[in-house]
Amino acid sequence: MSARRMVMKRPPIETSGPSGPAVIGGDRAIPVLRGRVQAAAPLAPFTWFRVGGPAEWLVRPADDADLVALLAGLPAGMPLTVLGAASNLIIRDGGLPGMVLRLGGAFGQVRVEADGIVAGAAALDVTVAQHAAAAGLTGLEFLSGIPGSIGGAVAMNAGAYGAEVKDVLDWAEIATADGIRRLVAAELAFAYRHATLPAGAVVTRARFHARPGDAVSIAARMDEIRAAREATQPVRARTGGSTFKNPPGRKAWELIDAAGCRGLTQGAAQVSEKHCNFLLNTGGASAAELEALGETVRARVLANSGITLEWEIKRLGEPA
C-alpha cells in the first residue's frame, strides 16, 4: 500500500492554527491555516447524489489571505480540486487524492448595490437571485433556476431560462499563489459552459449587473422558473442535474427516450422517468453504478441514433 493510500485510510483529524508547516505523507508540507484542515474527510454528504469516497485532505480557508497562503504553499504535484455546491458532480467511490478545497463562511457573503450584486463564490445562485429580487433589481432571475454556487456558475458560465452568466457578469475576483486578481468579463473568454481561468486559479467573488425593475414582475418570473423546474425535473431527488450535453440541434433527453432508456436501472441508480437526462440515486447507489448507467445510456443512444452524447456532469476521483 502506498503512502498516499495510508493517509487516505486513517481516521479523520482536524487541524487549525497559526501559519506554519504541517507535514503530510512524510515529505510533503502545506501551511497550517486559520481555517480547517481535515484528513480522510467524507465527501458524499456534500454532493447532491450523496455518493463518493473521501478526500485525502479537505481544506476550508478562513478568508482570501488564508486561501492565497494555501495556494502558495501547495506541494508541487499535489492535486487540487475545488468543490462548490457539488450539484453536477459524481465523486468516484475511491475518493479524491490530494487536496479538496471547499469555500464557505466569508466566501458566502452577498452585497446589494444600486445597479448590481457582489457575491462570494460560496453563495448559492438562488440566494443571489433572491437578494436581487428583494432589492427590486431585475436581470438575475435566471439564477434562481441554477442549482449551484457562484464560483461554479462563473467557472462554467452557467445558464438557464434564456440567460447565461456571461450576459450579466461585470468582473470576477480570483485567487492564485500570487494573490487576488480581478478579471473583467471579457478576460474570461466565455464559451458554452466554460470560462477561461488562469491555471490553478480559484474564483472568490463576482459582480453581476442588474437594473431596477417591478417587484411584482420579478417575483412572477421567479415563480415561473420554480414551477417549470418542479414540473419537468426531479428536483427533490438525489440527482446531479443534466447528465449529458445537448448535441447541436438536438435534445439529449429526446435521444435517451428514443433509445428506450427512460426508467432504466443499474443497481440503485436509475434514469429518471420524469426527465430522462437526469440520473437518480434511488437509495444506496454507488458512484460506480451511476457512472456505469450513464455509459450504458451513451452506448444505447449511439447504437440507436449514431450520436455520441458527451457528459455534462463532472466525474472525478478514483474507483473503489
Task: Specify the 3-state DSSP secondary structure of 127.
Answer: helix
Please report which residue ranges of the chain form alpha helices under DSSP H: 3-9, 64-73, 125-134, 150-156, 215-232, 252-258, 287-305
Supply φ then ψ for residue 75, to 5 degrees: -60, 140
CA distance 40 to 3: 13
What are the grid coordinates assigned to 229, written together? 423546474
CA distance 58 to 278: 28
Beta-strand pair 116-120/110-113 = antiparallel
Q: Is 312 a catalytic residue?
A: yes
For helices 125-134 and 215-232, what crossing angle results, to 10°?
Answer: 150
* Catalytic residue selected from 242, 286, 298, 300: 242
Alpha-carbon Rg for the chain in angstroms: 20
Q: Is 242 a catalytic residue?
A: yes
Contact 57, 24 (CB under 8 A): yes
The residue assigned the cell 458532480 is 89
* Catalytic residue selected from 4, 28, 36, 193: 193
Write the single-letter amino acid at 62: A
* Catalytic residue selected from 34, 187, 262, 312: 312
CA distance 270 to 285: 9
The 10 Å Cβ neighbour count of residue 135 is: 18
Q: What residues have CB less than 8 Å from 223, skipping those under 6 apart?
A: none
Q: Is 289 a catalytic residue?
A: no
Q: List the catalytic residues.
A: 193, 242, 312
